[in-house]
Structure 1
Amino acid sequence: MDKRNVEPRIRINKHYKQMKMKKTLTILGITLIAALTLSNVSAQKLGKFGSLTTKKVGPKTVAVPYTDVVTYLGFAAPNTEDAVVDGKKFYYIYLWVPAVAPEIGVRMMSPVGSTKIKNAIESKGYTENKDSKDYFDTYITIEKSNILTKDKISAEGVKDAKWTVLSRNDDSSEMPKNPAGRKYNSLLRYKSKAGDPLKALSVGLYRIGFTTYKKGEVNGTFLAQVATPVALPGVGIAKTIDELLTQINE
């Protein structure tokens, strides 16, 4: 057989095998990245929500978990913001606090993914979009209004209310990583200022504000938790004032 005819065939076969191997490795790489992304979504597991109070457990100092935790599952859709603050699109969740509290904790995670919480309040938006893979870099605030009684709560009353920002948070190392592997979920704890009527955690209407760290659209499912170290029977949390009134008047 003529060697001049064999050698080109050998080179072609080697080239074909190399191309096939590269293609296989590329497919495996894409599959691995997709699998890791999905695992991150499902792996977002919330630990216990620790309060500002600590205790010694052996050689370690640990946070005492909050005793009362309310969970809200929601969905933020683009261009449905409640306000624009400092150029950022803000969304609000309203909160009725029925008794004096020594402190309050708020944390938010996006997306919800496969996280399951017993007795969570599911909004209509979440129910309709729970399979969404969209998520956002959470930024949260807790704000207190000058509305102190149920009978003063109304859609019009909220528009005219005065709001005081008690605390805010962007990123928390205590929260699970988002699907991109970054700790961009949020957590804050606020201790009541008993001598200051504006900043004391008294009975009244509050709201959780949330947006993204960077200016832009807010889009995706989220889990928000409000916690206190004492039981608060009758606490309410809802996206709208009408929903909140239905909850606290039942």
Structure 2
Amino acid sequence: MKTKILILFTVIAFGSHFGAQAQKLKKFGSSTEKKMGPKTIKVPYTDVVSYLGYAAPGNEDETREGKKFYYIYVWIPAVAPELGVRMMSPVGKTKIKNATMAKAYEANAKSSEYFDTYITLERSDIISKDKISAEAAKSAKWTKLEYNDDSSEMPKQPSGSSYNSLLRYKSQVGDPLKALTVGLYRIGFTTYKKGEVKGTFLAQVAAPIKLPGVAMAKTIEELKKAL
């Protein structure tokens, strides 16, 4: 009898773990909501750009606020009314079409490591492609527009915790520093809890309108090549 109970418990535990791993990433919904019968849904973003990467200790870009921060640089080619950013770790078996894939991700795609994501959306004062350089990005004035730690809209991590992140930011047209204009942006990410940032991740930037020419890259040099 004890053997049967043990087998049943193992099956249930395995099934729960597998379910967490197999949860599908839903369409990226904007802040605009629409009534669909008895339900209210978020209207999906029109434009979504995806990046698959792998973070590991020693590859951080800087230490700030007592945490090791990593950056993904983003070029936004036109004025946008809203931007959405979300991050999931690990990527696992999730299939993403037309994603930019970092070499580090290709080498570690099968890794089961993951981290508690914490993301920021930041805008620089660089508004021309010709002005983009590693030196300029380092000395640029960066304005933090929004941040997020845990989002219940995202798939749970293998641990069963809702530690993946999602944010939406609406342009503040009356404030030059916080308006979503053409320019160089970056997604900053780290882990909310103490510890190392290590594992595969999916990062997505989305808009409610088409923005042809959006580019994402881990470094300024890679971004310039993408442009």
TM-score, normalisation: structure 1? 0.86
Cα distance between partner residues in 2 of 1:190 and 1:156: 27
Matching of residue 64 in structure 1 with residue 28 in structure 2 = no
Per the alignment, do residues 37 and 196 of structure 1 end up closer, same or farther by CA in structure 2, a change over 3 Å counting?
same
Cα distance between partner residues in 1 of 2:72 and 2:108: 18
Cα distance between partner residues in 1 of 2:195 and 2:92: 22
User: Residue type matched to 2:17 in 1?
Assistant: T
SS of the residue corresponding to residue 174 of structure 2 reads coil
Alignment identity in percent?
A: 67
Match of 2:104 in 1: 125
Match of 1:202 in 2: 181
Cα distance between partner residues in 2 of 1:74 and 1:25: 41
Per the alignment, do residues 35 and 52 of structure 1 end up closer, same or farther by CA in structure 2, a change over 3 Å counting?
closer
- Structure with larger Rg: 1
Per the alignment, do residues 162 and 181 of structure 1 end up closer, same or farther by CA in structure 2, a change over 3 Å counting?
same
Match of 1:230 in 2: 209
SS of the residue corresponding to residue 93 of structure 2 reads coil
User: Residue type matched to 1:238 in 2?
Assistant: A
Per the alignment, do residues 33 and 56 of structure 1 end up closer, same or farther by CA in structure 2, a change over 3 Å counting?
closer
Match of 2:20 in 1: 40
Q: CA deviation at 1:36?
A: 3.8
Cα distance between partner residues in 2 of 1:35 and 1:51: 32
Match of 2:85 in 1: 106
Match of 1:212 in 2: 191
Q: Between Structure 1 and Structure 2, how many residues are aligned?
A: 227
Q: CA deviation at 1:32?
A: 5.5
1:190-238 Cα deviation digits (max 9, x unpaired): 0001111110000000000001111220000001110000111111000
Matching of residue 159 in structure 1 with residue 159 in structure 2 = no
User: Residue type matched to 2:139 in 1?
Assistant: D
Moved over 6 A (4+): none
Structure 1 residues without counterparts, runs of 5 or longer: 1-17
SS of the residue corresponding to residue 125 of structure 1 reads helix
SS of the residue corresponding to residue 172 of structure 1 reads coil
The residue correspondences of 1:3-152 to structure 2 (distance < 5 A) are: 29=9, 33-34=13-14, 36-41=16-21, 43-152=22-131
Match of 1:12 in 2: none
Matching of residue 168 in structure 1 with residue 141 in structure 2 = no
Over aligned residue pairs, what C-alpha RMSD do you find? 1.7
Structure 2 residues without counterparts, runs of 5 or longer: none
Q: CA deviation at 1:187?
A: 0.3
Q: CA deviation at 1:57?
A: 1.6
User: Residue type matched to 2:206 in 1?
Assistant: A
TM-score, normalisation: structure 2? 0.94
Cα distance between partner residues in 2 of 1:33 and 1:129: 26
Contact preservation (8 Å) 1:101, 1:192: yes
Cα distance between partner residues in 1 of 2:64 and 2:15: 37
